[in-house]
Structure 1
Amino acid sequence: MRKFLYFILFLSIPIGIFAQEKLIIGRIIIDLDDSSPEGIYITNSRTKFTSITDITGSFAIHAAAGDSLLIRSAFYESRRFYMKESLLNNELLTIHLNMQPIALDEAVITTKLTGILEKDAKYSSKHDPVAELYKEMGINPDIKPRRDATDFTMWKDVSPLHLNVEKLADVISGNLRRRQNLFAYEDKESVLTEIREYFGDDYFTQDLDIPQEKIREFIFFAYETTFISQHHKVNNYFKIMEELMKVKSIYLNRLSSQNQIKTDNE
């Protein structure tokens, strides 16, 4: 019996930890001039998810008590910020950074060039790291890469001096357009799924009052009517959250109107 209780206690530990995970809204501030820079990377070491600050220095990321946030940038010092239990209830988490000292590379002095090609070529470096990399990988750098079949260009694939039969057949049969539409649909579905998984269903049902069965439809509505696609390309989930909040009322009003029409028809 005691072993069974220990087993139940062991299983409940991770559940309790994940239950405390919250969406943290924060801002990065540079101590030198109190600026809030864009493009700072914030990574949760436990979940491995990364958020990027927007033009106001703001970011949004899921975290729980005990998590460590790694803050990285090319021009500012890296810092590891530990999430304490008391910080989870803050409306805005402020993290300060300092400037990153930049060490210049060692200067290499070469032979002064004379302007005579035959003479200067003797002193030029014959080390080509790109060619060596291709050699190690067993790839011939002179081979022309095969282009994507969906990348159709009229004057490249069909012209008086050139005819791509495969591409032309795809265009005539409609396969090209169908493949392009399929790729676009799959890409969009992937984005919608990532957004839903990032914020979690509780955020949509509790914070935005979206019915559970309408979450996917709401995200699709927001995707089509806002700039979410652009924000997703740069992993700016703080801006995505702002877009979701902007269209929440519009979507709920439409949903209410649709439900009222169904009720009247019945």
Structure 2
Amino acid sequence: MNKILIAFFVLLTATFFGQSNDLLEVKGQVSAYISNLEGIYVINLQSEETVFTDENGNFAIKANVGDVLVFSGMQFKRKEVVLCAEDFENKSFKVHLGAIFNELNEVVIRNYSTINAVSLGIIPSNQKSYTAAERKLKSATDLDPSASAGGLAGGSVAFDPLINLISGRTAMLKKELEVEKKEAYMMLLEKMFDKDHFITRLQLPLNYIKGFEYYVVDNQKFTKILEMKNKTTIEFLLAELAPKYKEIIACENE
């Protein structure tokens, strides 16, 4: 009885190895919508052998006619291919994989423009907002009654503002603030009127437009109207100031 079992086992083993040795190699290439195709799974469901594609999508795996190859990747739809005899003979055996797209059911756009430091209670609602130049000037000139100043005048004021005043830093920061304001006025003016307006309507040479902008923002009456953003009134004032500026240009060119 034992001899029969041993003979059966030897026959079964030989049959198994004989089938394994009969496996052929199939070579192919995966194509998809991306250029780098490295790391896509290629699985033979019958032999459970697994290989991976290279960066060009090429692969080679042992299989038989009728075996099922599974192609799978994180960003691709799973695909099964039943091998036929032509697949082993065809050197250009190719498999195309489709992409997985995650579709959104709904897109909601919310307006969070009302959320700011004031609405969150971080700063008081009536607190003045400062530009960069304004903050520098305020910090340089602000007298702090709580500062001791090392015994200066009984320690009633901060020492830094006095140093800034003596050294001339305060004057420098005031000039910086004025420059910042003028630049802001000029940006506003350029948003309201393009170069064609200055050339066609005001009859100004192209290379004098920037100089005219500096000229008008030096006019306090004009900047007050500019802050109101009344385009009709601003346009009227520009037409009034343009001849005066052209007279200045004419005098300089004499």
TM score, norm. by length of structure 2: 0.41
Structure of higher CA gyration radius: 2
Higher relative CO (CA 8 A, sep ≥ 6), structure 1 or 2?
A: 1
